[in-house]
Amino acid sequence: MAKILFVVSGADHWTLADGTAHPTGFWAEEAVAPYRAFTDAGHEVVVATPGGVVPTVDRGSLTPDVNGGQEGADAVAAGLEAFEELRRPVALEDVDPDAYDAVFYPGGHGPMEDLAVDPVSGRLLARVLASGKPLGVVCHGPAALLAATGPDGRSAFAGYRLTGFTNTEETQAGFADKAKWLLQDRLVALGADFQEGDPWAPFVITDRNLITGQNPASSTPLAAEMLNRLG
């Protein structure tokens, strides 16, 4: 049995370019689908957040519209209810990454607010990347990569092939013209080799031990790839 760390945003809002606090948090499917996959395979999941705060789910991620209908929305809600570890997170500051076999970051706009500038998360990411252990990051979760620097002061992820929520998807979601910055632009600027699949379709990129997914639909195939790595 492997022990897998979920690093989840502790933010309940995302500050837009005009200063508005847009309610957000983590995206339900991106936490629930991998959690189900890992626990069904017999693995243990531990949730960590900055300061150990109980994470906030983005209410928009619970609607039928984004879950393929009411049945899908009900399934996600049930999955959240079963995900007890979300209600008793450990403090990210107290985490020893060596105690885990893999690390996973779900998305939602929350990471754009806190993990993107969190040095504790950044150090953990750089350490896990260097360790060779599976590191999975999906949708807006790659915002956390912006805080990770290597020994030379450059991004620990410079030169890596990866993906994340695209400018096209952010535009179609209605936030591109409201955001302070766009995730794809920032990942390109740090020197990553950003790969872009079709909007909203599953798209997973693997480079060494880094496994990234573009959007919510990518969370299940990303989890499957992590399970392959864990054996």
What's the pLDDT band for 153 if we cut at 50, 70, 90? confident
Tell me the pTM: 0.98
Average pLDDT, the chain: 97
Mean pLDDT of 37-60: 98
DSSP notation for the chain: --EEEEE----SEEE-TTS-EEE--B-HHHHHHHHHHHHHTT-EEEEEEGGGPPPPB-GGGGSGGGTTSHHHHHHHHHHHHH-GGGGSPEEGGG--GGG-SEEEE--SSHHHHTGGG-HHHHHHHHHHHHHT--EEEETTGGGGGGG-B-TTSSBTTTT-EE--S-HHHHHHTT-TTT-SS-HHHHHHHTT-EE---STTS--EEEETTEEEESSGGGHHHHHHHHHHHH-
> In this model, does residue 81 exceed pLDDT 90?
yes
